[in-house]
Copies of this chain bind each other. A is one copy, B any other.
Amino acid sequence: MRYMAKQKSKHHHGNLRSALISEGIHILEVDGVAGLSLRKIATAAGVSHAAPAHHFKGKTALLVAIAAYGFRIFTDFMQEGRENAGPGPHEQILGLCQGYLDFAEKHGALFELIFSTEIKSHADKDLQNASLRAFQLLEETCALFEPSRYAEKGNEIMVWSLVHGYATLRIHNKLMLQSDGSEMPFELILPRLDPKNSNLLK
């Protein structure tokens, strides 16, 4: 259900594998990580509860595949955030972070899944590639700045830690409030970095 097989049903189902991932993401957004079970996914895809075993080694393997897909959505959000931002280096990195935060807010369960210890510990190639691409997008954006004076990739890891911490704390913390009750905007805690080629235009 809810998922239209692209090719006419060949064997019994057609393309169960991608359907399971698709249904998994859907259930994730509805019931959260806690409500995501293999049997529920299988039922949603219209197959018996043991059918997924022929496409994924176990529940974790299916979750890993879902997470890899989630990572690509995550990367798209960051990319889009960048494109919607102004051309300046600071605007660019801020836009990327805004995409980061938008994803965490709109796809909270998926965000929780892709950064859960159960998933990241399993060394799946597809997942690692998807995860790496996300970080590379950040690296590209950080390349607009002079590298950190203190350590190689210092800027990258500083920004990544900052935005990731901000995102996770915002999800389950109410500590991020200013005294007037409004939320602390992320741009106010992101340090300004030295733009590269700052001798050209300014």
Which chain A residues have a beta carbon within 8 Å of chain B's beta carbons?
A: 32-34, 108, 112, 115, 117-118, 120-121, 135, 148, 150-154, 157-158, 160-166, 168-169, 171-173, 175-176, 178-179, 184-185, 188-189, 191
- Which B residues lie within 8 Å of A158 (CB)? 162, 189, 191
Asked whether A112 lies within 8 Å of B117 as measured between CB atoms, the reply is yes
- Which B residues lie within 8 Å of A157 (CB)? 166, 169, 175-176, 184, 189
Copies in the complex: 2
Asked whether B172 lies within 8 Å of A120 as measured between CB atoms, the reply is yes
Asked whether B169 lies within 8 Å of A161 as measured between CB atoms, the reply is yes
Asked whether B148 lies within 8 Å of A188 as measured between CB atoms, the reply is yes
- Most chain-B CB neighbours within 10 Å: which of A161, A166, A168, A184? A161
Which residue of B33, B151, B189 is within 8 Å of A151 (Cβ)? B189
- Which B residues lie within 8 Å of A115 (CB)? 168, 172
- Which B residues lie within 8 Å of A171 (CB)? 117
Compute how far the CA of A90 lies from the CA of B175 in the bound complex, rounded to whole angstroms: 23
The chain B residue with its CB closest to the CB of A173 is B120
Asked whether B160 lies within 8 Å of A175 as measured between CB atoms, the reply is yes
Given A151-B178, A151-B188, A178-B152 in contact, is the A166-B172 Cβ separation under 8 Å? no
